[in-house]
């Protein structure tokens, strides 16, 4: 078992004794708890498989009351916990704490209330993203945030990570669509944040909670906004000889006061990989631009004409519109399979999630290309171009000694360059365990200390998903100011990296 | 140290920070207008040391909102008024908190862009004050609230810490969204000194239509039908005036399309036996005029869209006038007794809504505003962590925070 981290020692983390396990079992029943080592392995990592920690136990509650009882036990004994939906997160947000428990929401997947006239739906955290849309589709509505993993990922995880997706450009992020949360605080108390009605009196705690990556508590119900499905949807594919030309098209479309539902760019490597894996029938080219327009039919037609002209003006040598629902589906399938398809290009790869102001796109792509060739590694790019959200995929072979370290370092350097250009280290994947240090590159100590004030108000003992998000373990009430090494660090018993 | 000596020594120090020429006394209260974020930080650090309460002040348009307080220092943001950056190709801008809303908008309009929000008193209210009170208007239906439009912020905390949150890109999930916590916090957690907004293109073709009726119920039904339609609605509001009820609809679409959309609207109105007329763009300013009724209570009420017509009927029954945006936010002037108003609050709370009193008539009995269901202790804890000495606008916020 991995050794306890120094801050955990400082936190006086409790030990999960047999007696405490019996308490958990009393809450969830014998079928609701996992302690067998081989079964626990399923929960030792999320989508970021490079990092693994075996949890001490996994509990699978069926109701809000059971979640509350579990967290009360955790609070009483200072047992760290992390909530888990489908485990598709890409930043290690659902990675268990050593000696801690995982609260799986697999059994809390009911849709609790549907209110079509007011365009709201209330669900349990284990409900799968696409199931929300499926439930309201017959009334002409959909749930807008669409992370690539939407057919398996859960709303609870989406709330924790403030999940995005290709259609954020027009419709906003998870936070845009969350009206109310029922939360169990790390103390075990139950609170309502927000309400189905907008502008709940008081601080906007819903806004703070969404995207807090499980560090402020656990949700047990979520009220979401649903959106009227547009009258018409059209998807355009345009092929270019350079990414810069595709990028310029994106800027020109925005400046022409058109707000597409999505604008995506893929480079040659990604196109080839997607083509080989799901055959979306993309034209072979150096840069593919995908534009989705939706809205009233007459408006979409006029805007699409304008966009095709902008594409041609920027050198697109082919532009075609998907002619059927089936073609549209296939085009998106290719795009959403891009991460998985990278497995065809190299044995291993790192997916990154930087954001830059849209106009910096050509500059950063140049820089990424240069940094990649310096290391001798290949980087392929797919991105939500409308938002300036890049997903550089660093390809490598872990079997070659030293190459993994080079790949990790390259991917972090790319994020640093995004920050240098006024951007962010993450647009939708979250900080998690993966980018803790990079967060320290983006924000200064006072900024992080201020976030920590919120953390400590919600979770003074830091048992909710500890050692995530913040660059280095820091304790409530700890003196702020310049970096001071921890005593164990000074003694050479631990190091931060 | 006696109180007067303590305040004198504080005034001397504040004068040394921002210059004596930027120091003043208003109704016996010390005031200062710092030049930049760093000066704000120094002033707060100094105030925090001596437990001196501070009230931030922008355009002064909403100082009567919230509980009355007696601060020892009024901190004006009037010298923090620059539009720092308008990166129009990226459709973002960074503005200092003391910038008047309409001044900012006229700078952004040079490139056909705007912050897609229509707050109260845009000619006087400042960017910082609008954010601190989380004001919004009819455009919220289409573009969202400040929570969706603010992407970054610089805030000074009570102890002088300068914290930056968010950034200059729209898509960003790094760290907590502290700017959401600050939006609507009435300056009780810190002073906002700079805000970065995401921008939208100003729609080139908008048209307003009004549907009037002596009965509110069919208009309420029509409102729900418009929400459920494919019409490119930019704004939608239900009004109760002294003589009748009106539903105002503003469409924003291409000129080639607007005729089609207007026909769709006519079709929906015919479904409830009502006819559509061209409306005046001025109907979108009527909300602000409700505040001129100083002899009545002026309140903000929130409700589900499906409850708008019912609550509007209640306001009318009390002899009031109201403007309710389709998002479920009502502004109403109500010439009622405090008991009647309390009953209205209870009626709203029973349907998940809330009532907040923004103005009480002279000598009227105070009416309590709605409180959050069960999160007040958590809000107090956050306040305590951010401002342990309690110097930031103490008591102004709900629950005496």
Q: Which residues of chain A make contact with B168, given a CB cutoff of 8 A?
A: 357, 422-423
User: What distances in angstroms separate CA B210 from CA A36, A249, B117, B238, B246, one per listed residue?
Assistant: 67, 39, 21, 10, 7
Q: Is the distance from CB of B218 to CB of B274 less than 8 angstroms? A: yes
Cβ of A452 under 8 Å from any chain B Cβ?
no
Instruction: Report the residue from B157, B168, B356 with minimal CB separation from A450.
Output: B157
**pLDDT score at B4:** 82
Q: What is the pLDDT of residues B264-290, one digit of tens each?
A: 999 999 999 999 999 999 999 999 999
Residue range A259-269: mean pLDDT, rounded? 94
Ordered alpha helix ranges (H), B158-241: 178-182, 216-227
**pLDDT score at B145:** 97
**pLDDT score at A474:** 56
What is the rounded average pLDDT for all residues in chain A? 91
A to B CB pairs, distance under 8 Å: 245
Q: Which of A16-20, A117-121, A332-336, B9-13 has the lowest mean pLDDT?
A: A332-336
Domain extent listing, chain A: 6-104, 111-228, 232-339, 346-420, 437-490
Q: Which residues of chain B make contact with A447, given a CB cutoff of 8 A?
A: 163-165, 175
pLDDT at A121 over 70: yes
Q: What is the pLDDT of residues A143-200, one digit of tens each?
A: 999 998 999 999 999 999 999 988 999 999 999 999 999 999 999 999 999 999 999 9
Instruction: Say how many Å lie between the first and final Cα of chain A, rounded.
Output: 20
Q: Which residues of chain A make contact with B184, given a CB cutoff of 8 A?
A: 199, 203-204
Q: Which of A13-17, A38-42, A282-286, A302-306 has the lowest mean pLDDT?
A: A13-17
H or E segment to which residue A210 belongs: none
Cβ of A475 under 8 Å from any chain B Cβ?
no
pLDDT at A488 over 50: no
**pLDDT score at A446:** 97
pLDDT at B312 over 90: yes
Please determine whether the domains at A6-104 and A346-420 fall in the same fold group of CATH.
no
Closest CA to A237 of A201, A214, A265: A265
Residue owning tokens 């939500």? A384
Q: Which residues of chain A make contact with B162, given a CB cutoff of 8 A?
A: 446
pLDDT at A4 over 50: no
Cα angle, residue B212 at apex, residues B208 and B216 outer, rounded to 5°:
120
The torsion angle over the Cα atoms of residues B32, B35, B36 and B38, rounded to 10 degrees, is -60
Cβ of A488 under 8 Å from any chain B Cβ?
no
Asked if CATH classification 3.30.70.2740 holds for the domain at A346-420, the reply, yes or no, is yes
For chain A, percent helix, then strand, then coil, each to nearest 5? 40, 20, 40
Residue range B221-232: mean pLDDT, rounded? 96
Instruction: Cite the beta strand spans of A173-250 per DSSP E.
Output: 178-184, 190-194, 218-225, 227-228, 232-240
**Confidence band (pLDDT; 50, 70, 90) for A495?**
very low
Domains, chain B, in order of start with CATH, read: 3-76 (3.30.43.10), 83-201 (3.30.465.10), 206-359 (3.40.462.40)
Compute CA B108 distance to the chain's CA centroid, rounded to the nearest angstrom.
Answer: 20
**Confidence band (pLDDT; 50, 70, 90) for B1?**
low
pLDDT at B102 over 70: yes
**pLDDT score at A255:** 86
> In the structure encoding, which two tokens stand for residue A247, read together?
């990028």
**Confidence band (pLDDT; 50, 70, 90) for B388?**
very high
Closest CA to A381 of A267, A247, A291: A267
The verdict on a CB contact (< 8 Å) between A442 and B372 is no
Look up the ipTM and state it: 0.97
Interface of A with B in 102-131 (CB under 8 A): 115, 117-119
> Among all residues of chain B, which has the CA nearest to that of A208?
B177
Closest CA to B148 of B187, B177, B121, B125: B177
Instruction: Report the residue from A212, A299, A425 with minimal CB separation from B254.
Output: A299
> Among all residues of chain B, which has the CA nearest to that of A471?
B175
The verdict on a CB contact (< 8 Å) between A296 and B261 is yes
CATH of the structural domain A232-339, one choice from 2.40.50.40, 3.40.50.280, 3.30.70.2190, 3.90.470.10? 3.30.70.2190
pLDDT at A486 over 60: no
CATH of the structural domain A111-228, one choice from 3.30.530.20, 3.30.950.10, 3.30.465.10, 3.50.50.60? 3.30.465.10
**Confidence band (pLDDT; 50, 70, 90) for A10?**
very low
List CB contacts of B377: < 8 A, sequence separation 6 or more.
Answer: none
Q: Which residues of chain A make contact with B157, given a CB cutoff of 8 A?
A: 450
CATH of the structural domain A6-104, one choice from 3.40.50.720, 3.30.70.1060, 3.40.220.10, 3.30.43.10? 3.30.43.10
pLDDT at A491 over 50: no
pLDDT at B88 over 90: yes
Residue range B207-229: mean pLDDT, rounded? 97
Percent of chain B exceeding pLDDT 90 equals 95
User: Distance between CA atoms of B134 and B128, rounded to whole angstroms?
Assistant: 10
pLDDT at A8 over 50: no
Q: What is the pLDDT of residues A124-143, one digit of tens each?
A: 999 999 999 999 999 999 99
Closest CA to B136 of B379, B326, B272: B326
**pLDDT score at A49:** 86
List CB contacts of B380: < 8 A, sequence separation 6 or more.
Answer: B399, B401
H or E segment to which residue A412 belongs: helix A403-420
pLDDT at A482 over 50: no
Instruction: Report the residue from B171, B184, B231 with minimal CB separation from A204.
Output: B184
The verdict on a CB contact (< 8 Å) between B155 and A450 is yes
Q: What is the pLDDT of residues A48-91, one digit of tens each?
A: 888 899 999 999 999 999 999 999 999 999 999 999 999 999 99
**pLDDT score at A337:** 83
User: What distances in angstroms separate CA A129 from CA A109, A139, A147, A159, one per listed residue?
Assistant: 11, 17, 9, 11
pLDDT at A12 over 80: no
Q: 3-class DSSP state for residue B76?
A: strand
The verdict on a CB contact (< 8 Å) between A457 and B304 is no
Q: Is the distance from CB of A89 to CB of A432 less than 8 angstroms? A: yes
Interface of A with B in 19-78 (CB under 8 A): none
Instruction: Report the residue from A355, A446, A451 with minimal CB separation from B176.
Output: A451
Q: What is the pLDDT of residues B15-73, one digit of tens each?
A: 999 999 999 999 999 999 999 999 999 999 999 999 999 999 999 999 999 999 999 99
Instruction: Report the residue from B169, B184, B201 with minimal CB separation from A357.
Output: B169
Q: Is the distance from CB of B284 to CB of B118 less than 8 angstroms? A: yes
pLDDT at A402 over 80: yes
Q: Which residues of chain B make contact with A457, given a CB cutoff of 8 A?
A: 378, 381-382, 384-385
Residue range A458-471: mean pLDDT, rounded? 95
**pLDDT score at A26:** 98
């Amino acid at each position: 078992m991995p050794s306890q981290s120094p801050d955990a020692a400082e936190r006086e983390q409790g030990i999960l004794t047999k007696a405490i396990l019996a308490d958990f079992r009393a809450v969830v029943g014998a079928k609701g708890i996992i302690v067998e080592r081989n079964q626990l392995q399923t929960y030792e990592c999320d989508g970021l498989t490079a990092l693994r920690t075996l949890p001490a136990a996994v509990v699978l509650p069926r109701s809000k009351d059971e979640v509350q009882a579990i967290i009360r036990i955790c609070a009483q004994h200072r047992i760290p916990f992390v909530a888990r939906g489908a485990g598709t997160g890409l930043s290690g947000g659902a990675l268990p704490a050593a000696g801690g428990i995982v609260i799986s929401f697999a059994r809390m997947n009911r849709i609790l209330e549907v209110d079509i006239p007011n365009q709201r739906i209330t669900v349990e955290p284990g409900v799968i993203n696409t199931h929300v849309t499926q439930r309201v589709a017959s009334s002409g509505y959909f749930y807008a945030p669409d992370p690539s993993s939407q057919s398996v990922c859960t709303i609870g995880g989406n709330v924790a990570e403030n999940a995005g997706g290709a259609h954020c450009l027009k419709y906003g992020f998870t936070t845009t669509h969350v009206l109310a949360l029922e939360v169990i605080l790390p103390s075990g108390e139950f609170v309502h944040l927000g309400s189905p009605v907008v502008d709940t009196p008081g601080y906007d705690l819903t806004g703070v909670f969404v995207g807090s990556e499980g560090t402020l508590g656990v949700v047990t119900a979520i009220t979401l906004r649903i959106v009227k499905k547009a009258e018409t949807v059209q998807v355009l594919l345009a092929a270019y000889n350079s990414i810069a030309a595709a990028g310029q098209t994106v800027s020109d479309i925005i400046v022409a006061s058109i707000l597409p539902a999505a604008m995506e760019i893929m480079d040659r490597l990604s196109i080839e990989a997607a083509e080989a894996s799901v055959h979306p029938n993309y034209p072979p080219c150096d840069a593919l631009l995908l534009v989705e327009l939706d809205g009233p039919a007459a408006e979409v037609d006029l805007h699409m004409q304008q966009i095709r002209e902008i594409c041609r003006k920027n050198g697109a040598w082919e532009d075609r519109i998907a002619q059927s629902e089936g073609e549209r589906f296939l085009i998106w399938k290719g795009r959403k399979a891009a991460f998985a398809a990278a497995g065809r290009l190299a044995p291993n790869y790192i997916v990154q999630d930087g954001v830059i102001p849209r106009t910096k796109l050509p500059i950063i792509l140049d820089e990424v290309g240069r940094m990649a060739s310096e290391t001798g590694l290949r980087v392929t790019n797919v991105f939500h171009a409308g938002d300036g959200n890049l997903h550089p995929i660093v390809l490598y072979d872990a079997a070659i000694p030293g190459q993994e370290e080079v790949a990790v370092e390259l991917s972090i350097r790319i994020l640093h360059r995004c920050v240098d250009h006024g951007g962010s280290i993450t647009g939708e994947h979250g900080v998690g365990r993966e980018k803790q240090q990079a967060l320290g590159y983006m924000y200064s100590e006072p900024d992080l200390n201020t976030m920590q004030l919120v953390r400590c108000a919600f979770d003074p003992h830091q048992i909710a998903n500890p050692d995530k998000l913040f660059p280095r373990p820091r304790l409530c009430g700890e003196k702020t100011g310049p970096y001071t090494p921890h005593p164990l660090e000074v003694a050479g018993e631990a190091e931060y990296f | 140290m006696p109180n007067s000596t303590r305040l004198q020594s504080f005034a001397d120090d504040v004068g040394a920070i921002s210059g004596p020429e930027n120091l003043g006394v208003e109704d016996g209260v010390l005031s200062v207008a710092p030049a930049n974020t760093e000066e704000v930080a120094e002033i707060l650090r100094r105030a925090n040391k001596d437990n001196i309460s501070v009230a931030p002040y922008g355009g002064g348009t909403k100082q009567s909102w919230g509980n009355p307080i007696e601060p020892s220092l009024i901190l004006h943001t009037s010298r923090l008024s620059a539009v720092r950056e308008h990166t129009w190709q990226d459709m973002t801008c960074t503005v200092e908190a003391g910038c008047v809303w309409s001044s900012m908008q006229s700078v952004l309009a040079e490139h056909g862009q705007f912050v897609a929000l229509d707050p109260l008193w845009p000619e006087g209210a400042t960017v910082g004050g609008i954010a601190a009170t989380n004001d919004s208007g009819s455009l919220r239906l289409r573009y969202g609230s400040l929570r969706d439009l603010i992407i970054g912020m610089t805030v000074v905390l009570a102890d002088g810490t300068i914290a930056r949150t968010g950034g200059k890109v729209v898509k960003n999930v790094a760290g907590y969204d502290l700017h959401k916590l600050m939006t609507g916090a009435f300056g009780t957690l810190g002073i906002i000194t700079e805000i970065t907004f995401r921008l939208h293109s100003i729609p080139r073709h908008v048209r307003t239509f009004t549907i009037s009726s002596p009965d509110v119920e069919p208009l309420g039904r029509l409102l729900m039908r418009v929400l459920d339609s494919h019409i490119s609605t930019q704004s939608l509001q239900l009004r109760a005036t002294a003589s009748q009820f009106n539903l105002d609809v503003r469409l924003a679409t291409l000129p080639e399309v607007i005729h089609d959309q207007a026909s769709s609207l006519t079709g929906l109105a015919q479904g409830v036996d009502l006819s559509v007329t061209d409306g005046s763009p001025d109907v979108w300013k009527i909300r602000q005029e409700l505040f001129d009724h100083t002899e009545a209570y002026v309140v903000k009420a929130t409700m589900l869209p499906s409850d708008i017509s019912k609550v509007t009927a209640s306001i009318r029954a009390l002899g009031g006038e109201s403007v309710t945006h389709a998002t479920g936010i009502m502004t109403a002037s109500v010439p009622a007794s405090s008991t009647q108003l309390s009953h209205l609050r209870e009626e709203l709370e029973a349907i998940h809504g809330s009532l907040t009193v923004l103005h009480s008539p002279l000598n009227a009995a105070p009416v309590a505003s709605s409180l959050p269901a069960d999160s007040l202790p958590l809000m107090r804890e956050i306040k305590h962590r951010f401002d342990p000495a309690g110097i930031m606008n103490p008591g102004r916020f709900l629950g005496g925070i």
